Amino acid sequence: MKKAVFPGSFDPITLGHVDIINRALPLFDEIVIAVGVNAEKNYMFSLEERIAFIEKTFAGEKKITLKTYRGLTVDFCKSVNAHFILRGLRNPADFEFEKAIAITNRKISGIETVFLLTSAETSFISSSIVRDILRNNGDASLLLPEGIVNT
């Protein structure tokens, strides 16, 4: 069984995340969306809200499991018996950052990272941009799954 973990804070989940997950579904038997919990990070949305956004977005998708985790992503992968980490790449800077992590993860655990390039329609979207729009009372609806955040 090919199982991948798609880790992130998903603060909030964006159409960029959705694009990567939907395009990865045919590649894996199961995708575990892993919402990372970091006590030192200040999230805009609570863990419960972030989970609810993801559940609403992927309601009925049988190949997706949703879990939370703390600590190293590779340790979480081992705990759920996943052999792949799924990551989306928007630009060369993302690749350089993610490449170092992927090499380290493979070296310490043997877990492979699979990169998917974001589609042209979503390559500019990031959660930080969405949060900035929302903090300033802007309309982020074109960047988010339908019904996720009232904008």
Kindly give the confidence (pLDDT) of every residue in the chain, 151 residues in length, as a single tens digit, with 9 standing for 90 and above.
999 999 999 999 999 999 999 999 999 999 999 999 987 889 999 999 999 999 999 999 999 999 999 999 999 999 999 999 999 999 999 999 999 999 999 999 999 999 999 999 999 999 999 999 999 999 999 999 998 876 4
Does residue 68 lie within any of the structural domains?
Answer: yes
Does residue 28 lie within any of the structural domains?
Answer: yes
Does residue 58 lie within any of the structural domains?
Answer: yes
DSSP label at residue 37: -
Per-residue pLDDT at 40: 84
The catalytic residue positions are 17, 41, 90, 127
Whole domain around residue 25: which residue ranges? 3-143
Does residue 79 lie within any of the structural domains?
Answer: yes
Per-residue pLDDT at 151: 44
Does residue 127 lie within any of the structural domains?
Answer: yes
pTM given for the model = 0.94
Count: domains in the chain: 1
Measured in residues, the chain has a length of 151
CATH number at residue 121: 3.40.50.620
DSSP alpha helix (H) spans, 2-139? 15-24, 47-57, 73-79, 92-109, 127-135
User: Residue 101 half-sphere exposure, CB side, CA atoms within 13 Å?
Assistant: 16
Does residue 137 lie within any of the structural domains?
Answer: yes
Supply 126's token pair: 């990031």
Does residue 151 lie within any of the structural domains?
Answer: no
